[in-house]
Amino acid sequence: MAGGYAWLLAAPAAFLALFFAWPLVRVVWRGFTDPVLGLGNYARVFGDGPYLRVMLNTIETAATVTALCLLVAYPVAYVMAKTRGRWLQIMAALVLIPLWTSVVIRSYAWMVVFQRRGVLNDLLLATGLVDAPVSFLPGALGVHVGMVHIMLPFMVLPLLSSMRAIDGTLLRAAEVLGASPTKVFWRVFLPLSLPGLNAGVALVFMTSLGFFVTPALLGGPQHMMAAVLIEQQANTYLNWGMASALSSTLLVVTLAIYVVYLRVSGGAADAALVR
Amino acid sequence: MRRHGMTTRTTRRGVLKGAAAASAVLAFPAVLRAAPSQMVIATGGGKLEETYQKVIYAPWTAKTGIKIVGAPNTSAKLKAMVEQKAYEWDLCQVAAEFAAQAAQQGLLEPLDYGMIDKSKLLGGTAHPHFVMSDVAAYHIAWNTKNVKAGAEPKSWAEFWKAAGRRGLWKRPFQTMEVALMADGVAKDKLYPLDVERAFKSLDKIKSSTLFWNTGAQSAQILIDGEVEVSATWNGRVHDPKRAGAPVDYHFNQALFVSDAWAIPKGAPNKKEAMEFIALAMSAQSQADFAKHIPYGPTNTAALSLLDAVTKEALPSSEANFAKGSFLDVTYWADNGDRVGELFNKWTL
């Protein structure tokens, strides 16, 4: 970056330091000092309580949702990137409109779809695919569908911007040099869309780790996410030391996963381009 | 922030030292300080707050000239407020089991029972730091389309054996108690909870139970027939039943739970807050409240101001109150975190 303009960052940096970094430091500190100085809270987090299991649940759910989002969003973004004019506007609107509805309302809407006398069961019964209503709720299906629905725009948009930036002449050059359409996609288009893909994956995965409402409403008790545990400790039991320890653990786990992901995906991107 | 709080204290001490002449005045701040022009009261909001507005806030303002501003009673906020000595509420209404927890952490002002009359209150509702203001019931309810009349579960034991799916709250409080009653523990012998026995009892129905998250959800799954029977709070099914929804309930072996008035420790308008609580706890206020929302009064004198039809729906009317038992808030304040951890582990 041009050094002369670094001062422009001073205000945002001060804002972040004051309202983000400092509270974060206090949260981490509290995990070690409340109610008494020591590792008591962390002994509980890593002990044989429910905490580690919930952390793993959380990571697993976030990873599944991210993978599903990618599967759905990539073709959508691909088609959008190839489209111009009115149709692009319509598609963009369809992707964006769900963002204007609250997460709580959308989660309740999925309950209506999935419940025993819901739309989906009515359809299955009417078509004779099942004889008795299927119990979808509470269950993993509801959690995953509900979360993918909410996170989808956050995957589509970075993918789209990345794909639209791809220079079409590169694709034509590959074709001219005799590459099949499949080969053009795998060797040229996909690697060039990786920045958007990485951004989308990071965005969806990180956000999914902190999900609260959707798994609480659509999932069973066995689908408990870390955010629910943290909320319980902070609000119900007023045990802020424990809430801090759990938050800090989630933060460290998230950062660790992110670093590993950057290494792996960065390596993969380089390899794909060099091959 | 704590540092900010310390600065404030130092400043105040400095003022006291420096202005010796003013010390006589400062010794009686309550006498000389003008009454506030408004007070902030945090409650659960919604219909509850609308009703308070009508039956308590309006008379209070008419009497004292002090306006009332509502706020959501986010529990963590109480702790933050007291810790940082930055008060946004003058008083609050919170779940009684939460009040007990907050009192234990020193977050609440002791109540002045010289100002608040507790002579007519139900036993166990007047605590040193909070006073329970209503009685709701966590009880058995069923979908009347799917459960034939007469076949509804009469007790938690029958609820456990009921055909189909059942609903219970996804939290340990109240759910542990009914699990014990289902296993044959008498309603007056619940505490201290036999936690292991409760989990064994819950094990029997785990696979056929939908653990709901919010009161609204419990009513919805009952009315939609997503479950045949469910535990729920009477306030959630009272109106739908009257409006003709396919749901019914009874108070047998109900577990009574309460909201409670409390004052954040160190809040500035303590005297007015006590006066407000005294008004809110009066027989008239409680009776007026119960006419709008089927949460029964804790002031027994309020019952004589209510007609038979209203009393039929109230958990704390003589007939209904005898059928159930009170949640022990002190037990949960002492054991909530530990039992909650075990409960979370059990659910996974």
Q: What is the pLDDT of residues A222-238, one digit of tens each?
A: 888 899 889 989 988 99
User: Between A22-33 and A240-274, two packed helices, what is the crossing angle to 10 degrees?
Assistant: 120
Q: How does residue B334 score in pLDDT terms, banded at 50, 70 and 90?
A: very high
Query: In this structure, which amino acid lies at residue B95?
Result: A
- CB nearest to B344's CB, from A115, A217, A224: A224
- CB nearest to A50's CB, from B79, B337, B341: B341
Task: Find the Cα–Cα–Cα–Cα dihedral B174, B176, B178, B184, rounded to 10°.
Answer: -150
Sequence-ordered list of residues with C-beta below 8 angstroms from that of B112, at least 6 positions apart, any chain: B274
B13: in domain: no
- CB nearest to B347's CB, from A44, A224, A237: A224
- Is the pLDDT reported for residue B23 higher than 50? no
Task: Indicate the helix (H) or strand (E) that contains B259.
Answer: strand B259-262
Nearest to B201 by CA among B182, B229, B185, B175: B182
Per-residue model confidence (pLDDT) at position A106: 87
Pairing of strands B259-262, B209-212: unpaired
Q: How does residue A78 score in pLDDT terms, banded at 50, 70 and 90?
A: very high
- Is the pLDDT reported for residue B5 higher than 70? no
**Contacts with B246 from chain A: Cβ below 8 Å:** none
Pairing of strands B91-95, B259-262: antiparallel
B25: in domain: no
Core vs surface per residue B160-196: b (16+ CB within 10 A) or e: bebeebbbbbbbbbbbbbbbbbbbebebeebbebbbe
Per-residue model confidence (pLDDT) at position B277: 97
**Contacts with B202 from chain A: Cβ below 8 Å:** none
B296 versus A116: which is more confidently predicted? B296
Give the model confidence (pLDDT) of A199-227 as tens digits: 999 999 999 998 888 888 888 878 888 99
Task: Find the Cα–Cα–Cα–Cα dihedral A11, A14, A18, A23, rounded to 10°.
Answer: 110
ipTM score here?
Answer: 0.79
Q: Average the pLDDT over A245-254 and give the result.
A: 93
Q: Average the pLDDT over B280-297 and give the result.
A: 96
B87: in domain: yes
B22: in domain: no
- Is the pLDDT reported for residue B9 higher than 70? no
Q: Average the pLDDT over A229-254 and give the result.
A: 92
Ramachandran region, residue A178 (left: φ > 0; alpha: ψ -120 to 50; beta: rest): left
SS3 B136: strand
How many whole angstroms separate alpha carbon B91 and alpha carbon B268? 10
**Contacts with A116 from chain B: Cβ below 8 Å:** 224-226
Subunit contact A236:B336, Cβ cutoff 8 A: yes
Sequence-ordered list of residues with C-beta below 8 angstroms from that of A121, at least 6 positions apart, any chain: A115, A130, A133, A134, A136
B140: in domain: yes
Interface test with A, best of B81, B108, B226, B228 (most A CBs within 10 A): B226
Nearest to A47 by CA among B342, B172, B194, B176: B342
Phi, psi of A200, deg, nearest 5: -60, -45
**Contacts with B221 from chain A: Cβ below 8 Å:** 115
**Contacts with A242 from chain B: Cβ below 8 Å:** 337
Q: Facing residues of B229 across strands?
A: B142, B166
Nearest CA in chain A to B346: A50
B329 C-beta neighbours (distance < 10 Å), count = 26
Closest approach of chain A CAs to the CA of B298, in angstroms? 24
Interface test with B, best of A117, A238, A244 (most B CBs within 10 A): A238
- Is the pLDDT reported for residue B330 higher than 60? yes
Closest approach of chain A CAs to the CA of B1, in angstroms? 10
Q: How does residue A72 score in pLDDT terms, banded at 50, 70 and 90?
A: very high
Q: Average the pLDDT over B173-184 and give the result.
A: 96
Count of structural domains, chain B: 2
Q: Does B226 contact A at CB distance below 8 Å?
A: yes
Q: How does residue A63 score in pLDDT terms, banded at 50, 70 and 90?
A: very high
B18: in domain: no
Closest approach of chain A CAs to the CA of B226, in angstroms? 6
As given in the structure block, the two tokens for residue A107 are 């989660």
Peptide bond connecting A153 to the previous residue in cis, omega within 30 degrees of 0: no
CATH number of A37-274: 1.10.3720.10
**A101-110, B186-195, B260-269: segment of lowest average pLDDT:** A101-110
Ramachandran region, residue B288 (left: φ > 0; alpha: ψ -120 to 50; beta: rest): alpha
Q: Does B75 contact A at CB distance below 8 Å?
A: yes
Per-residue model confidence (pLDDT) at position A271: 61
Is B286 in contact with B132 (CB distance < 8 Å)?
A: no
- Is the pLDDT reported for residue B3 higher than 50? no
Give the model confidence (pLDDT) of B201-257 as tens digits: 999 999 889 999 888 889 999 998 889 999 999 999 999 999 999 999 999 999 999
Per-residue model confidence (pLDDT) at position A157: 93
A51 versus A5: which is more confidently predicted? A51
A101 versus B197: which is more confidently predicted? B197
How many whole angstroms separate alpha carbon B342 and alpha carbon B348? 10
Q: How does residue B7 score in pLDDT terms, banded at 50, 70 and 90?
A: very low
Range of the domain at B172: 136-256+325-347
Helices (H), B293-328: 308-312, 318-321
Per-residue model confidence (pLDDT) at position B292: 95
Closest approach of chain B CAs to the CA of A188, in angstroms? 45
**Contacts with A50 from chain B: Cβ below 8 Å:** 341, 344-345, 347-348
Is B120 in contact with B297 (CB distance < 8 Å)?
A: no
B167 versus A36: which is more confidently predicted? B167
| In the block, residue with structure tokens 């739970």 | B257
Q: Average the pLDDT over B283-295 and give the result.
A: 96
Q: Average the pLDDT over B270-288 and give the result.
A: 96
Query: In this prediction, what percent of chain B has a pLDDT beyond 90?
Result: 81
Query: In this structure, which amino acid lies at residue B54?
Result: K
Give the model confidence (pLDDT) of B73-90 as tens digits: 998 999 999 999 999 999
Task: Indicate the helix (H) or strand (E) that contains B247.
Answer: strand B247-257
Subunit contact B217:A135, Cβ cutoff 8 A: no
Per-residue model confidence (pLDDT) at position B214: 86
- Is the pLDDT reported for residue A16 higher than 80? yes
As given in the structure block, the two tokens for residue B103 are 């009192």
DSSP for residue B117: -
SS3 B123: coil
Per-residue model confidence (pLDDT) at position A3: 60
Q: In 3-state terms, chain B is what percent helix, strand and coil (to 5)?
A: 50, 20, 35
- Does B159 lie in the same domain as B123? no
As given in the structure block, the two tokens for residue A183 are 């080969």
Per-residue model confidence (pLDDT) at position A14: 92
Nearest CA in chain B to A243: B76
Strand order in the sheet with B131-132: B67-72, B38-43, B91-95, B259-262, B131-132
Put simply, the chain A residues between 172 and 211 with a CB less than 8 A from any chain B CB are none
Q: What is the CATH number of the domain that holds B43?
A: 3.40.190.10
Per-residue model confidence (pLDDT) at position B4: 33
B239: in domain: yes
- Is the pLDDT reported for residue B190 higher than 50? yes
Q: Average the pLDDT over B28-52 and give the result.
A: 81
Subunit contact A235:B74, Cβ cutoff 8 A: yes
Subunit contact B344:A229, Cβ cutoff 8 A: yes
**Contacts with B341 from chain A: Cβ below 8 Å:** 44, 49-50
B156: in domain: yes
A189 versus B27: which is more confidently predicted? A189
Task: Indicate the helix (H) or strand (E) that contains B240.
Answer: helix B234-242
As given in the structure block, the two tokens for residue A56 are 């793993």
Nearest to B250 by CA among B306, B308, B184, B315: B315
| In the block, residue with structure tokens 């609903």 | B167
Sequence-ordered list of residues with C-beta below 8 angstroms from that of B305, at least 6 positions apart, any chain: B283, B284, B287
- Does B263 lie in the same domain as B118? yes
